[in-house]
Amino acid sequence: MDIEQKVAGFTPEGDAVVVYTMRNSKGYEVELCNVGAAIVAVRVPDKEGRVGDVALGYENRMEYLTEGACMGKVPGRYANRIAKGHFVLDDKEYRLAINNSPNALHGGPKGFHMCLWEGRVEENRVVFAIDSPDGDEGYPSDLYVEAVYDWDDDNRLELTLLAQTNGATIINLTNHAYFNLAGAGSGDIKAHTLRLNASRYLPTDQTLIPTGALAEVEGTPMDFRTPKALGKDLEADFPALIYGKGYDNCWAIDDYKEGEIREAALLSDTASGRTLRVLTDQPGVQVYTGNWLSGIPMGKGGVRYEDYSGVAIECQNFPDAPNKPHFPNAILRKGERYERHIVFEFGIDK
């Protein structure tokens, strides 16, 4: 494994924005950035052997400091939404910034995705670390987080998310990369087919906060148990799709068992032949079809991204779990170790 580091620029405070390029023995690459511990490029072959970048990103790396799409980043402390920016932990009420009215989203306006992480190379991996002090964006207790990236010769990118705290807090970490297997900037992802290992999804209210129920996907546009084009039901007259202007929902992964890694999703593009298999030990997978990408900063190659230019497959805990006691546990306490895994396997459908 060859890992190169390059300074892309500096923050207003004078800190370096660093891009790490991981190159496997076959020459295929992943680029990472210390802003938000982000995936900024993934260069893999199509069925004809042509190499293309399948991860959306920005032409100017400095845009990662101010952009609002959470492009390729690790949001936190709590990815996804918390209802009305409010939760109670150990009988104490906490209030968070409302940055997705009327809710809190992705840890707040200055969440982990907007922060400069400390990056380092450890043998054949890249490790990003961040210290979040007590009270950061309203969250309690000090929290130390690492995002560890491994890239192998089989074009398998594994993200290990680690955290420890000195008290009690809530946590939900994921990665928010947008993928287009035909190539970033090549158009929309409506013809991509998706299969989900999920027979239930989380219905939401109009603000995309889960109601608390887990509903069967059968007979609804939420059914991806067999491969289906993302565009097939994108404009269906169905509450989830109306509320989000497309898919922006969480599915409960079938047969979830804590600590066990299993397949969550399989994304495919017939034209290029590329596939993306996503595995995780998280209980849920949020699928977001890039419904509001229009107007974000210039994409790579000088291309303007439009709505539906990429799809994010975010393995995570359930949204608003701190306010839903029957959802999987979102509390981390002193002496406990938070460890979650997300694996992106890039392949060719032969």
- Domain locations in the chain as residue ranges: 2-348
Q: Is the pLDDT of residue 350 over 90?
A: no
Q: What is the mean pLDDT of residues 298-307?
A: 95
Q: What is the mean pLDDT of residues 154-183?
A: 98
Confidence label for 305 from pLDDT (cuts 50, 70 and 90): very high
Q: Which of 67, 137, 146, 314 is catalytic?
A: 314
Mark whether 314 is an active-site residue: yes
Q: What is the mean pLDDT of residues 301-330?
A: 97
Q: Is the pLDDT of residue 108 over 90?
A: yes
**pLDDT number for residue 97:** 95
Q: To the nearest whole number, what is the mean pLDDT of the chain?
A: 97
* CATH for 2-348 (3.40.190.10, 2.70.98.10, 2.160.10.10, 2.60.120.200): 2.70.98.10
At 244, which helix (H) or strand (E)? helix 239-244
Q: Is the pLDDT of residue 163 over 90?
A: yes
236 within 8 A of 220, measured Cβ to Cβ: no
Q: What is the pLDDT of residues 263-296, one digit of tens each?
A: 999 999 999 999 999 999 999 999 999 999 999 9
CB under 8 Å to 252, separation ≥6 — which residues? 198, 200, 201, 202, 214, 283, 284, 318
Confidence label for 129 from pLDDT (cuts 50, 70 and 90): very high
Confidence label for 10 from pLDDT (cuts 50, 70 and 90): very high
Confidence label for 24 from pLDDT (cuts 50, 70 and 90): very high
Q: Distance between CA 241 and CA 222 in Å, rounded?
A: 9
Q: Is the pLDDT of residue 256 over 90?
A: yes
Q: Is the pLDDT of residue 66 over 90?
A: yes
Q: Is the pLDDT of residue 202 over 80?
A: yes
Confidence label for 11 from pLDDT (cuts 50, 70 and 90): very high
Q: What is the mean pLDDT of residues 240-266?
A: 97
Q: Distance between CA 230 and CA 302 in Å, rounded?
A: 26
Q: Distance between CA 79 and CA 286 in Å, rounded?
A: 10
Q: Which of 106, 113, 176, 192 is catalytic?
A: 176
**pLDDT number for residue 3:** 98
Q: Tell me the two tokens of residue 287.
A: 């699928």
Percent of the chain residues past pLDDT 70, beyond the cut: 100
Q: Distance between CA 210 and CA 188 in Å, rounded?
A: 27
C-alpha pair distances (Å), 164 with each of 133, 134, 283, 318, 339: 12, 13, 20, 20, 9
**pLDDT number for residue 30:** 98
Q: What is the pLDDT of residues 71-107, one digit of tens each?
A: 999 999 999 999 999 999 999 999 999 999 999 999 9
Q: Tell me the two tokens of residue 24.
A: 């496997």
Number of residues in the chain: 350
C-alpha pair distances (Å), 263 with each of 36, 266, 289: 25, 8, 20
Q: Distance between CA 305 and CA 187 in Å, rounded?
A: 8
Q: What is the mean pLDDT of residues 330-340?
A: 98
Q: What is the SS3 assignment for 250?
A: strand
DSSP 13: T
